[in-house]
């Protein structure tokens, strides 16, 4: 024993860490693509996908009749 407090790293540990990192990145990319596709579908299904307000979503309010 050389007296150091550093943990000993074996080649198998670094290989396992690399495989786990790669799998995690692949999973995250898959989830991101899935969410992007889902939001694109929602965006294309709405009439106001271009960022325009839909007149039917708003109601005119007479401020004179509102009590503050």
Task: Please give the Cα distance from 9 to 33 (Å, whole number).
Answer: 35
Residue 27 DSSP class: H
CA atoms within 13 A on the CB side of 63: 0
The H helix count followed by the E strand count for the chain is 1, 0
**Is residue 38, in this structure, part of any structural domain at all?**
yes
Identify the pLDDT of residue 19: 93
pLDDT digits (tens, 9 = 90+) for 26-46: 999 999 988 888 877 666 555
Q: Which residue has the higher pLDDT, 12 or 14?
A: 14
Q: Which residue has the tokens 């990319």?
A: 29
Mean pLDDT of the chain: 74
Task: Please give the Cα distance from 18 to 21 (Å, whole number).
Answer: 5
Number of structural domains the chain divides into: 1
**Is residue 39, in this structure, part of any structural domain at all?**
yes
**Is residue 21, in this structure, part of any structural domain at all?**
yes
């Amino acid at each position: 024993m050389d007296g150091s407090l550093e943990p000993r790293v074996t080649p198998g540990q670094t290989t396992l860490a690399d495989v786990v990192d790669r799998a995690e990145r692949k999973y995250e990319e898959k989830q991101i693509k899935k969410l992007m596709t889902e939001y694109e579908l929602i965006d294309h299904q709405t009439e106001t996908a271009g960022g325009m307000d839909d007149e039917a979503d708003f109601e005119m309010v007479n401020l004179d009749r509102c009590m503050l």
